[in-house]
Chain A
Amino acid sequence: MNSAGAILNVEQIVAGRYLDLALLILMWVGAILVMNALKRGWTLKWRKIAGLEALEEAVGRAAEMGKPVHFTPGYAGLTGATSPQVVAGLAVFAELARLCAKYDVEIICSVGDPTVLGVATELYKQAYTSEGKLDRAKPEHDIRYLSGSQFAFAAAVQGIAERERPAANVMVGPFWAESMMFAETFYRVGSIQVAGTARIYQIPFFAVVCDYVIIGDEMFAAGAYLSKEPSAMSSIFIQDLAKLFALALSIVGALILTFTGYKGIIDFLKL
């Protein structure tokens, strides 16, 4: 095909984004290939993500104690740069709500952005419907929009912790300064805590205070991991391969740069 008839010419791609596009296409094609292979019977051994495995334990504890479970995806919305983290948090919420519906445990979802409110309400209703208990669902009570302001949201969540004293607290999403406030308050009221974020400076806070931590990429894998569907799990395999590739590139690049001063890999990454 000549250049005039081509759908996409290489020249049309914005300079400096060739490698990005190539890697995106590679990962996309890789995910589809692995998905097909898994459907044909290829098996893989998946490592367990402790934080996600702990969801059932958290709900079980709440059922034994007769107390609610609290969940929050943070106060970010579905339209910003942190929306992938919110989506990952909502995938965890969907599973948590299903478990709560199954074991007749009250779940309180604290929402800080109205765009999340509708989605969380729908997921909550679907969870109760899938367990055949829609008549017991109370979305207008359990899904709570608190505030779009960071510290008003933080104060409201702390208020819920003190009043309701949940047996378990699950926080998965983007968090800022409020992370430590939540973790400490729920620790003080005796909640078992599962926390996950990809916000790099909040991970240490969660790591030292919470019982289970879902770190970075584990959080993004939550939806696929919890669904246990081969089509979704295939991308986790590709994710791990990409991580190995990045690791190898980092080590080789650091060694070459340190010992020879050659900056070829840096130029390659700028393609």
Chain B
Amino acid sequence: MSIFYRRHIPLAITFICGLVMILQYFLVPGKITQPHEYAIQYYGVTLTNWANLLANFIVGFGLVNVTIIHSRRIMRAKSAFDRFCSAWLLFVMVVFLIVGSFGHSGLWYTPLAKNWEWLTLYVLNPLDATMYASLIFYMASGCYRVFRARNLETTLLLIVGFLSLMAAAPIFQVYAPWSRDFISWFANYPSIGAYRAIQMSAALGAILLGIRTLIGTETGYMGRRD
């Protein structure tokens, strides 16, 4: 495939689509009154719909990828447990696919709505909640390793971390109320200042990434230049 098809055409499409979205942001107000606003809005919404359609269509590729990987594992895995896990994953995936296709509330034909509700309520939600709850152990082990006074920075982190714990514990709120005030001040001023600096620089970085993408110099997502 020539470089024209592989790079120039995608870059041209990116530029045109990006420009339409920029025009939509700057020229289309909340209440549309002018013909040019209707036109730009129409193209912007059409492009967004295309992107959403493509994104949903590509879900099929994900399905194929998972099926290929786990089918191979069933055939080649040395351990029977690994084979069982992959087979179970494929089985559950098929069950969710069928029940979801005929039970999801967003669809028009939902004879399996009750089954979908049951799967969501008694399988998906508890599993999600369990994973989320396990986060506390990761945070605890991270804190244990980090809160050691090895140098100036880690010592400061240790002090502020300890004061944060003090501020959250009822016993310190009663007997050392100053700790809460100190941490509130720390969180509301120096900490927010640092956050805003990072946020601002990240926003500028994202804008420049957009500009690079539009003028065709950011090609990392398309691989290296030939």
Contact = CB atoms under 8 A, between A and B. Distances in A.
Interface of A: 8, 12-15, 17, 20-21, 24, 27-28, 31-32, 35, 77-79, 84-85, 87-88, 90-92, 94-95, 98, 114-115, 117-119, 122-123, 126-127, 130, 140-141, 143-146, 148-152, 154-155, 177, 180-181, 183-185, 198, 200, 203, 205, 208-209, 215-224, 226-227, 229, 231-232, 234-236, 238-239, 242-243, 246-247, 250
9 contacts: A12-B27, A31-B208, A79-B55, A85-B206, A114-B55, A123-B221, A145-B66, A154-B131, A224-B218
B207 interface: yes
B75 interface: no
Interface stretch (B168-176, B177-185, B192-200): B192-200
Contacts of B207: 24, 27, 242
Contacts, number: 207
B212 A31 contact: yes
B68 A140 contact: yes
B152 interface: no
B112 to A, nearest CB: 19
Q: Chain B's interface: helix, strand, loop or mixed, by majority?
A: helix
B135 A226 contact: no
A223 B209 contact: yes
A173 to B, nearest CB: 12
Interface in B92-116: none
Contacts of A215: 198
B4 interface: no
Contacts of B127: 151-152
Interface in B138-192: 138-139, 141-142, 145-146, 157
Contact of A14 (B27, B218, B221, B224): B27
Given A224-B217, A224-B218, 14 more contacts: A17-B25, A31-B208, A88-B209, A114-B55, A141-B69, A145-B61, A149-B124, A151-B128, A152-B127, A154-B131, A209-B145, A215-B198, A223-B221, A242-B208
Given A24-B207, A203-B198, A220-B202, A184 B141 contact: yes
A184 B218 CA distance: 32
A167 to B, nearest CB: 20
A44 to B, nearest CB: 15
Interface string B198-225: 1111101111111111010111111111
A12 to B, nearest CB: 6
Given A115-B58, A203-B198, A223-B218, A181 B134 contact: yes
B205 A239 contact: yes
Contacts of A141: 69, 72
